[in-house]
Chains A and B, each alone.
Chain A
Amino acid sequence: MSFDNAYESLLGGEDAHWAFGTGFSEALSGVNREFPAGVDREALAAYCLMLGDDALIFSQRLSEWCSRAPELEEDIALANIALDLLGQARMLLTRAGEVLGRDEDALAYLRDEREFRNVHLAEIDCGPGPGGDFAATIARLLVFSSWRLALFSRLRGSADPVLAAIAEKGLKELAYHRDHAAQWTVRLGDGTDESHRRMQAGLERVWPFVDELFATHAVEVTLAGVAVDPASLRSEVDGVLEAVLNAAGLTRPTDTRAARVAGMAGRDGVHTEAMGFLLAEMQHLYRSLPGAVW
């Protein structure tokens, strides 16, 4: 191996040795993935897409903060959280893809907006661009991770062993995410007048997207015993959020319901205006150079 040229030494030999992120194998490679008897595979795939898309899209949003966070440690923290969610997304999309006949890359990069099943909370623009704020991102992380943690806690008992294993693994990560968001919420809410004002504004920004998290979808009804009914999570999540807001001296916003389109929302593939811009950025390279790996 030559060290005269940095690129030669990076690219020579086995590429995976030098740069993580090249030549990835499939996310569930080598995991026992038999489908349990009696489970509706189409519905299981739809459910995995829902949970996988939540993680993928929110991961993309968190990644936007890389190099833009208020302090270096927070850059690292948000990138780490994004990485955990991306890992969860890869496993869930791979599980869905086994039924749909598409791999994780095809599902992430080659679906159009109407095929994504994530909740609106994951996709809305909370910054770092114009109109956004770090406090709004923390508010979103608090709500999202509190809800997903409660969900994964129950999903550990899923009749699908792969979903149960993904949940058991992700649960520990989500506990760190929620604690991180909760501690920031208290720090900002109970900080200066300015930090309090912005944290309250952050909550007001994301709260209209809270109700959607707890709306039961037909797929979840079909998959009793495999999926978790999100309506069953409401009191636990409300309790957590109340504890955090009380400690932070913040007021719980009253506006909990954003408008839907003909009664449909993210789980039905109907998204907010922000989604198209997000997908354009996330997908353009793979679509411009089909089959690209990096």
Chain B
Amino acid sequence: MTTALEVASAVRDPELPVLTLADLGVLRDVEEEDGRVVVTITPTYSGCPAIDEMGADLRRSLVGAGYPDVEVRLSLSPAWTTDWISEEGRSKLAAAGIAPPSRIGPTVAGPVPLNLVPPSRQVACPQCGSLNTSEISRFGSTACKALRRCHACAEPFEHVKEI
């Protein structure tokens, strides 16, 4: 029988189906106790409408794999960061035409610095690899993505923005 961790790790993200919830870093913990499975997930954004769907998908997959007693817990802290997207997840995003986020490192205490111009991050075009790209909009089709444009191949593309 597949372990509960293996089953949960294979569940895909409803909005970025190229990634599993484990790739995305949303799956925080899977515990098995006397046939009962406790899964802990963390939301990407406070208003992420997919969080219920993630829980339902996890429950459905685990029940289907022979774990009838499933509890899904939500953990808000530590807050999700795109740094938790795995290396494999980053490769999968790029292969799907979505630019993965840069690494941002640990957050520092104290006031958050103001950015009066968009940060000039080097985001490579997932189609042609050019670094000559610019931001169209910091807010995209889902809370976690920004819209960019490549000036080399003229293709627009999505970018999982750093948070």
Q: Which residues from chain B contact A73 at a C-beta distance below 8 Å?
A: 136-137, 139, 147
B76 & A30 in contact (Cβ 8 Å cutoff): no
The answer to whether B77 and A165 touch across the interface, beta carbons within 8 angstroms, is: yes
Interface residues on A, range: 35 or more
Cβ 8 A contact of B115, one of A83, A172, A179: A179
- Contact: A16 with B56, CB < 8 Å? yes
| In the assembled complex, A4 has its CB within 8 A of some CB on chain B | no
A243 in contact (CB, < 8 A): yes
Closest B residue, CB atoms, query A248: B116
Whether A87 contacts B48 in the complex (CB less than 8 A), given A153-B112, A171-B112, A183-B116, comes out as: yes
Q: Contact at B118–A183, with CB atoms within 8 Å? A: yes
Bound complex: CA A80 to CA B139 (Å): 7
Query: Is the beta-carbon distance between A168 and B116 smaller than 8 angstroms?
Result: no
Mostly, the B contact residues are loop
The secondary structure that dominates the A interface is: helix
Given known contacts A21-B49, A86-B47, is B143 in contact with A80 (CB within 8 Å)?
yes
Task: Known contacts A28-B74, A88-B47; decide if A77 and B116 are in contact (CB<8 Å).
Answer: no
CB under 8 Å from chain A, chain B span 31-55: 40, 43, 45-50, 52-53, 55
Which residues of A (64-113) have their CB < 8 Å from a CB of B? 73-74, 76-77, 79-81, 83-88, 90-91
Given contacts A169-B43, A178-B114, contact A83 B75 (CB under 8 A): no
Q: Is A84 within 8 A of B47, CB to CB?
A: yes
B138 at the interface (CB under 8 A from A): yes
- A247: which B residues are within 8 A, CB to CB? 116
Contacting residues, chain B, for A84 (C-beta < 8 A): 45-47, 143
> Inside 8 A of A29's CB, which chain B residues have their CB?
55, 72, 74
Beyond A83-B143, A244-B116, whether A77 also contacts B52 by CB under 8 A is no
The B-contacting residues of A in range 23-47, CB under 8 angstroms, are: 23-25, 28-31
Complex Cα spacing A244 to B113, Å: 12
Q: How far is the CB of B112 from chain A (nearest CB, A)?
A: 5
Is B103 an interface residue when CB atoms closer than 8 A count as contact?
no
How far in angstroms is the closest Cβ of chain A from B106?
Answer: 13
Flag if B141 contacts A76 (CB, 8 Å): yes
B73 at the interface (CB under 8 A from A): yes
Nearest CB of B to A18, in Å: 10
Q: Is the pair A182, B112 in contact by a Cβ cutoff of 8 Å?
A: no
Q: Nearest chain B CB to A120's CB is how many angstroms away?
A: 24
Please state if A31 and B74 are interface contacts (CB–CB under 8 Å). Answer: yes
| Residues of A contacting B116 in the complex (Cβ-Cβ under 8 angstroms) | 179, 182-183, 186, 243-244, 247
4 nearest CB pairs, A to B: A87-B47, A87-B46, A30-B73, A73-B137
A-B contact pairs, 16 of them (CB 8 A): A17-B53, A17-B56, A29-B72, A30-B72, A30-B74, A30-B75, A73-B136, A73-B139, A81-B139, A83-B143, A84-B143, A150-B111, A168-B78, A169-B43, A173-B46, A247-B116
Inter-chain pairs besides A172-B81, A179-B116, 17 sampled, C-beta below 8 Å: A17-B56, A20-B50, A30-B71, A84-B143, A85-B47, A86-B47, A90-B46, A91-B76, A162-B76, A169-B43, A169-B77, A169-B79, A171-B112, A173-B46, A175-B112, A179-B138, A182-B115
A residues contacting B by CB (< 8 A) are 14, 16-17, 20-21, 23-25, 28-31, 73-74, 76-77, 79-81, 83-88, 90-91, 149-150, 153, 161-162, 164-166, 168-173, 175-176, 178-180, 182-183, 186, 236, 240, 243-244, 247
